[in-house]
């Protein structure tokens, strides 16, 4: 696809969405917000309520694309059974609602980009994995698999569907990075557990670039790993962040403490890992602006190298 596009975006107030909306608008694209209930105030807003199964489907008619990023945060609270149900339903219900609505249109968008995550692969130790790898085991792997399956009605309608499997997004505006800064700045930072688990990270600027790349390149379909080409272990991440902040990174967080405080969430979010490569983006010619972890952190945090 080329030229200015008309695009609907869900989750536009989240970490990625809040940066993506202005990014697309600056490129000349028309951005319409999928907003819930009373939040739908502007003339261009499209009202929807995934919990109630309601969406203004007619407002999606004739759009060029839909980018679906909405979903409950997986890292904002201990994973009780109720919390896991809310996380799962926010993703599967919302994706299915949008997908079925698009599938029923006379003039549907040509592409649906749906958020997913590298949690799809489960804990894979040091195995290097690309988009052809099978799903892993655990709550996150099952969640991502069901999340992606929920977009099947759109694919059956002939809409190009892309599953954006995001890694750990590095941004000073939100997500994991700001939570790490205080202990590191106080000299209390360090690896998590053994530090041998792999982290597949990506700079926010490259997330925006990859989403736009998948949006306009018609050859991109199915799973796309949105990660930098240089995954690191958790221990290496801690050392690099400490170097960028000019602080020691010597105090490990014991796995037993994390499991006691966070339970299952610690096992899957902090102590498990995936060494993921962005094969499909690279083969399609996408160029990362921040392929190096230290450079990415310095750019995001505004920290220059010592002279």
Chain center to CA of 161 = 16
Nearest to 296 by CA among 139, 151, 115, 172: 172
| Record: fold of 6-170+200-227+277-282 | Rossmann fold (3.40.50)
Asked if the model's pLDDT at residue 307 lies above 50, the reply is no
Better-scored residue on pLDDT, 76 or 28: 28
The rounded mean pLDDT for the chain is 94
Cα 148 to Cα 117: distance, rounded to the nearest angstrom: 10
Q: Tell me, what's the pLDDT at 5?
A: 96
Asked if the model's pLDDT at residue 40 lies above 50, the reply is yes
**Per residue in 163-176, pLDDT tens?**
999 999 999 999 99
**Per residue in 60-71, pLDDT tens?**
999 999 999 999
Distances (CA, A) of 171 to 15, 109, 231, 291, 304: 8, 30, 17, 15, 16
Q: Which residues share a beta bridge with 232?
A: 199
**Per residue in 220-236, pLDDT tens?**
999 999 999 999 999 99
Distances (CA, A) of 71 to 56, 129, 284: 19, 25, 28
Q: What is the mean pLDDT of residues 194-223?
A: 97
What is the full DSSP assignment across the chain?
A: --S--EEEEESTTSHHHHHHHHHHHHTT-EEEEEEEGGG--STT-EEEETTTTEE-GGGGTT-SEEEE-----SSSS---HHHHHHHHHHHHHHHHHHHHHHHT-SS--SEEEEEEEGGGG---TT-EE-TTSPP-SSHHHHHHHHHHHTTHHHHHTT-EEEEEEE-EEE-TTSSHHHHHHHHHHTT----BTTS-SEE-EEEHHHHHHHHHHHHH-TT--EEEEES-S--EEHHHHHHHHHHHHT------B-HHHHHHHHTHHIIIIIS---EE--HHHHHTT---S--SHHHHHHHHHT-PPP-
Q: Tell me, what's the pLDDT at 76?
A: 78
Asked if the model's pLDDT at residue 77 lies above 70, the reply is yes
Q: Tell me, what's the pLDDT at 259?
A: 86
**Per residue in 240-284, pLDDT tens?**
999 999 999 999 999 998 888 888 888 988 999 999 999 999 999
Q: Are 70 and 56 in contact (CB under 8 A)?
A: no
Q: Tell me, what's the pLDDT at 41?
A: 67
Least confident among 25-39, 84-98, 155-169, 225-239: 25-39
**Per residue in 108-155, pLDDT tens?**
999 999 999 999 999 999 999 999 999 999 999 999 999 999 999 999
Asked if the model's pLDDT at residue 2 lies above 80, the reply is no
With a CB cutoff of 8 Å and minimum separation 6, the contacts of 111 are: 1, 64, 65, 66, 159, 160, 161, 162, 215, 218
Strands 65-68 and 111-117 come out as parallel
Asked if the model's pLDDT at residue 306 lies above 70, the reply is no
Q: Tell me, what's the pLDDT at 257?
A: 85
Q: What is the mean pLDDT of residues 155-159?
A: 97
Confidence of residue 88 (pLDDT cuts 50, 70, 90): very high
Evaluate if pTM is beyond 0.85.
yes
């Amino acid at each position: 696809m080329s030229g200015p596009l008309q695009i609907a975006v869900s989750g536009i107030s989240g970490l990625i969405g809040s940066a993506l909306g202005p990014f697309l608008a600056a490129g000349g694209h028309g951005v319409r917000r999928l907003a819930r209930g009373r939040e739908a105030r502007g003339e261009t807003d499209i009202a929807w309520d995934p919990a109630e199964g309601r969406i203004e489907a007619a407002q999606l008619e004739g759009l060029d694309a839909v980018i679906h990023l909405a979903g409950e945060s997986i890292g904002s609270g201990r994973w009780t059974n109720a919390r896991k149900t809310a996380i799962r339903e926010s993703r599967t219900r919302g994706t299915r609602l949008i997908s079925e609505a698009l599938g029923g249109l006379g003039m549907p968008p040509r592409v649906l980009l749906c958020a997913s995550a590298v949690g799809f692969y489960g804990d894979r130790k040091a195995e290097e994995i690309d988009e052809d790898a099978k799903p892993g085991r655990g709550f996150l792997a099952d969640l991502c698999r069901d999340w992606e399956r929920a977009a099947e009605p759109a694919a059956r309608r002939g809409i190009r569907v892309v599953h954006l499997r995001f890694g750990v997004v590095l941004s000073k505006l939100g997500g994991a990075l700001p939570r790490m800064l205080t202990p590191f700045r106080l000299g209390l930072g360090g690896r998590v557990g053994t530090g041998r688990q792999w982290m597949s990270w990506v700079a926010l600027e490259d997330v925006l670039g990859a989403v736009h790349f998948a949006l306009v390149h018609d050859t991109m379909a199915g799973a796309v790993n949105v990660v930098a080409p240089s995954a690191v272990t958790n221990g290496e991440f801690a050392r690099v962040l400490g170097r960028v902040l000019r602080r020691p990174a010597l105090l490990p967080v014991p796995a037993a403490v994390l499991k006691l405080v966070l339970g299952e969430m610690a096992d899957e979010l902090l102590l498990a890992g995936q060494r993921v490569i962005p094969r499909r983006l690279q083969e399609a010619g996408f160029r990362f602006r921040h392929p190096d972890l230290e450079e990415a952190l310095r750019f995001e945090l505004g920290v220059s190298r010592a002279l």
